[in-house]
Chain A
């Protein structure tokens, strides 16, 4: 982070592709600009992408630091900044501030099993985590990925998911909300499917990432399965501006999602007054 945490560093669109079948999601790979220092980061962290004249928005880093220097983000088009991002083409410049926030406690996961539960387009940082774990495969025990979306065309990184499914060292359970032709995998909401998969809590950690309602209903499933509250992690979102704990906007109780989070354990959340 430069001395002035408000000034973005220059980055360039290395590649961009449409991620979802309704074109609301695009995935960008950004390369650091010539004057920018690539930085180190860990899965779970986020960046503020900056379009001068439009503003900034926060995105979880979808790439893993094990994948090289470029950074991957998947952007859902909902407003001014994300629309401007969607218009960016290869080679075009934008700004970035990061890495911001805390990260998934990958150190704690070492030697243990990890269960990743994701929903919708919140799968970004779980891609980062899964890729990181798989790149350091021998450091971790069983890796289970449970990921669902409303329909197949809204699942992110479908090619990679297919590759993971082919690997023998990670269990992948994909699901969609309602039956669709051509879909022969699970059907059901993520919390329900999690209940069916019944991941074991023994020597295991869980990371849940998705829309607030999905997290709300998945947490109890994991706790009922026997996961301890301090072994279930999630990544929260709040409207952000400064991203560095000064502007006061993103707090949940005394914690700022941008600096104390966005990664929180369920145990921490249970002691915080505000919900999702």
Chain B
């Protein structure tokens, strides 16, 4: 299937195993519903699906088209259930068993779930993590050959979720090499060239927030772009505003981004914004020795401080 990958999971059998796993989870009432992927608007697209009934598990698939992160959809589902519970006629809503949702998690999505738990956004017992080893999502932008993987996937070092309740299929062998090589390459460019590259990417941005909404870590109820007191930036799609939006979002994602690449894949115009996040990921790792999404207990890097923190930027 993919040249040069020794342990390639056979997508068909992985999908079949996934369906069986989902069926058992529902049958044994270990989960009230399963969020996964189904075939989408074409053979090369997948979309999220919520399976509530064993008879529907046949819709589940897993392959290199399963690009969107399911975490935002998980949050929506949990939120919708919570809203329904609070409106329900039950005399004691707290006695209603909270919804247990099973979610299919690639390595990156699994890390995102761990990070959300670490950030207090999710309780471990709310979610049944159905881990799948991921071989990478196909780069489907025009001009890319169908075989090539998305940029984040090419440099991925966490193809298997670190925490899971059940693992479907074979774990994928972890890639080797420097995951920050692309960042280092980029840094070799002169400052003006880097800015020119960045401007060219931003020229495509239409401020649709697909990147933000697709991101498993962007869960703020009120995003900084919507705040008016103070007004941090304008709402237009003109360069100063789009520049600020992407820079600030990257900073807000620093130490939290799991480089799933959902943002870049979500962008309808193919803006290559994941590089920005990757650069900051390296920064956090170097400064604070912290990698997002690996420990449910560790305090997120930018949520704490240590006296050993470097302060060379302060004179």
Q: Using a CB–CB distance below 8 Å, which chain A residues touch chain B?
A: 79-80
CB-defined contacts of A79 to chain B, threshold 8 Å: 228
**Chain A residue at minimal CB-CB distance from B229:** A80
- Identify which of residues 54-91 in chain B touch chain A, using a CB-to-CB cut-off of 8 Å: none
Q: How large is the interface on B (under 10, 10 to 19, 20 to 34, 35 or more residues)?
A: under 10
A55 CB → nearest B CB, Å: 10
A108 CB → nearest B CB, Å: 41
B40 CB → nearest A CB, Å: 29
CB-defined contacts of B229 to chain A, threshold 8 Å: 80
**Chain A residue at minimal CB-CB distance from B231:** A80
B225 CB → nearest A CB, Å: 16
Complex CA gap A79/B229 in Å reads: 10
CB-defined contacts of A80 to chain B, threshold 8 Å: 228-229
Mark contacts of B227-243 with chain A using CB atoms, 8 A cut-off: 1 yes-contact digit, 0 otherwise: 01100000000000000
**Chain B residue at minimal CB-CB distance from A83:** B229
* Pairs A–B under 8 Å by Cβ, sample size 3: A79-B228, A80-B228, A80-B229
Complex CA gap A80/B227 in Å reads: 12
Complex CA gap A80/B230 in Å reads: 11
3 shortest A-B CB distances, which residue pairs? A80-B228, A80-B229, A79-B228
Complex CA gap A80/B229 in Å reads: 9
Complex CA gap A79/B228 in Å reads: 9
Complex CA gap A79/B227 in Å reads: 12
- Identify which of residues 206-251 in chain B touch chain A, using a CB-to-CB cut-off of 8 Å: 228-229
B82 CB → nearest A CB, Å: 23
**Chain A residue at minimal CB-CB distance from B228:** A80
CB-defined contacts of B228 to chain A, threshold 8 Å: 79-80
Complex CA gap A118/B168 in Å reads: 64
Complex CA gap A259/B56 in Å reads: 47
Complex CA gap A219/B229 in Å reads: 38
B204 CB → nearest A CB, Å: 25
Complex CA gap A141/B299 in Å reads: 73
Complex CA gap A80/B228 in Å reads: 8
Complex CA gap A70/B94 in Å reads: 57
Complex CA gap A105/B161 in Å reads: 66
Complex CA gap A147/B228 in Å reads: 35
B301 CB → nearest A CB, Å: 35
Complex CA gap A11/B102 in Å reads: 61
B205 CB → nearest A CB, Å: 22
**Chain B residue at minimal CB-CB distance from A79:** B228
**Chain B residue at minimal CB-CB distance from A80:** B228
B227 CB → nearest A CB, Å: 12
Complex CA gap A211/B115 in Å reads: 43
Complex CA gap A79/B231 in Å reads: 13
A85 CB → nearest B CB, Å: 16
A111 CB → nearest B CB, Å: 48
A146 CB → nearest B CB, Å: 33
B241 CB → nearest A CB, Å: 17
